[in-house]
Amino acid sequence: MLALAELDLKPQETVIVSGIGQAAKTPHYIRTNVFNGLHGRALPAAMAIKAANPELTVIAESGDGCMYGEGGNHLMHTMLRNPDISVFVHNNMVYGLTKGQASPTSQRGFETLVQTADRQGVTSEPFNPLALGVAMNASFVARAFIGDTEQTKEIMKKAIQHKGFSLVDIFQPCVTYNKINTFRWFKNNTYYLDGAYDSTDRLAAFEKAIEHDKYPLGVLYRGLPRATFEENSGIYDVDKRPLFQRALDKKKLKELIQTKVSGL
């Protein structure tokens, strides 16, 4: 909310899109336009909203289950399209709303009522959103820790101001269902990238993305500036107006229909 205020975004020109989960309820606490859609499906909607009206600032916000689990395929394909939207993923490494099952980002050995202790808890490799982002050449990839409000806000602001797709993975404790990855755990297991780090170096970014002794925080990767999905659509080249301000050119349509007289 602070990030939005400091960027002077008008609530009327901002849309927060979310899915389902604890984090997905966030937009109900912020005074903006809201599209609270389906579990896992925030990104297709967010991309389309931006494409239908590029004048809007579009932020998609949800949890790790929504964005990385149910919506994993959409995450990958939205990155590839590069719409000018920001994606904030509250990553607490556990499913909260369904009461404590593993999430795609849960660490190996994490025990739940489903991923039971007698079966070694979680046995899958944890999903790595940052490595995916760098691998897919997402145009902005970052990580924040919610315990540090000031830095998190700054990273979010950078993401919103970035032209193109931006992903911010936000480490966040779940006080109810995750007794392993606590506030203290996150604090002890993260560090900030320093000023010498070059976020445009993709290979270095990939190295950082797969570090797991301690997790880096900050902007990991910025791709070279490139056209957004909306720009590439070709429909805003000449006419910059959003779709709702346009009208059908009936004369043109009549001409198109007329071409169907020749059977070619």
Partner 1 sequence: MKYSIAISGAAGQGIDTVADFLAAILKESGLHVFVWREFMSRIRGGINSAQLRVTDDRTGAYTFRTNIAVVLDEGASEHLNRHSRISEDTIIVGEEKNIGAIDHDSRYVIAVPFSEIAKEVGGTIYLNSIAAGLVAAYFDVKESTVQAYLSERFGSKGEEIVKKNIDAYTRGFQIGQRISDILGPMRIKPNPGVRSQLLLSGSESVALGALAGGCNFISSYPMSPSTGVLTFLAQHARDFGVLVDQAEDEIAGMNKGLGAWFAGGRAIVTTSGGGFALMTEGLSLAGMLESPMVILLGQRPGPATGLPTRTAQEDLKHVLGASHGEFPRVIYTPGTYEEAFFLTQKAFNMAAHYQVPVFVLTDQFLLDSLGTLPMLKLADTKIEQHVVKTKSDYRRYLLTETGISPRGIPGYGEGLVVVDSDEHDESGHITEDLHLRTKMVDKRLRKKAALLQENTVPPTLVGAKEPSILVIAWGSNYHVVKEAISELGQDSIAMLHFCQVYPLHEASLEYLRSAKRVAIVENNATAQFAGLIQRETGFGIDRNSMLLKYNGLPFAVEEVMDFLRGIAKEEMIMN
Q: Is 11 in the site for partner 1 (CB under 8 A)?
A: yes
Under a CB-based contact definition with an 8 Å cutoff, are residues 79 and 58 in contact? no
Structure tokens at 209: 């993305």
Under a CB-based contact definition with an 8 Å cutoff, are residues 48 and 74 in contact? no
Q: Is 55 in the site for partner 1 (CB under 8 A)?
A: yes
Contacting partner 1 within 209-238 (CB under 8 A): 233-235, 237
Applying CB under 8 A, the site for partner 1 has a residue count of 59
In the chain, which residue ranges form alpha helices assigned H by DSSP? 2-6, 42-52, 64, 72-81, 129-135, 149-161, 183-188, 202-209, 229-232, 250-258
44, 65, 164, 173: which one contacts partner 1 (CB under 8 A)? 44
Q: What is the dihedral of CA 87, 168, 25, 97, to 10 degrees?
A: 120
* Angle of the 72-81 helix axis to the 42-52 helix axis, nearest 10: 30
Minimum distance from CB of 249 to partner 1 (Å)?
7
Q: Is 170 in the site for partner 1 (CB under 8 A)?
A: no
Q: Is 38 in the site for partner 1 (CB under 8 A)?
A: yes
CB neighbours (10 Å) of residue 19? 26
4, 15, 79, 167: which one contacts partner 1 (CB under 8 A)? 15
Q: Is 264 in the site for partner 1 (CB under 8 A)?
A: yes
Under a CB-based contact definition with an 8 Å cutoff, are residues 10 and 32 in contact? no
Q: Is 114 in the site for partner 1 (CB under 8 A)?
A: no
Q: Is 48 in the site for partner 1 (CB under 8 A)?
A: yes
Residue 196 or 257 having the CB closest to partner 1: 257
Contacting partner 1 within 62-101 (CB under 8 A): 73-74, 76-77, 81
Q: How far is CA 157 from the centre of its chain?
A: 14
Q: Is 248 in the site for partner 1 (CB under 8 A)?
A: yes
Q: What angle do CA 204, 217, 178 make, to 5 degrees?
A: 125
- The region of 106-114, 175-183, 190-198, 244-252 touching partner 1 under the rule CB under 8 A is 244-252
Residues of this chain that interact with partner 1 (CB under 8 A) are: 11-13, 15, 17, 20, 25, 27-28, 31-38, 41, 44-53, 55-56, 73-74, 76-77, 81, 233-235, 237, 239, 242-250, 252-254, 256-257, 260-264
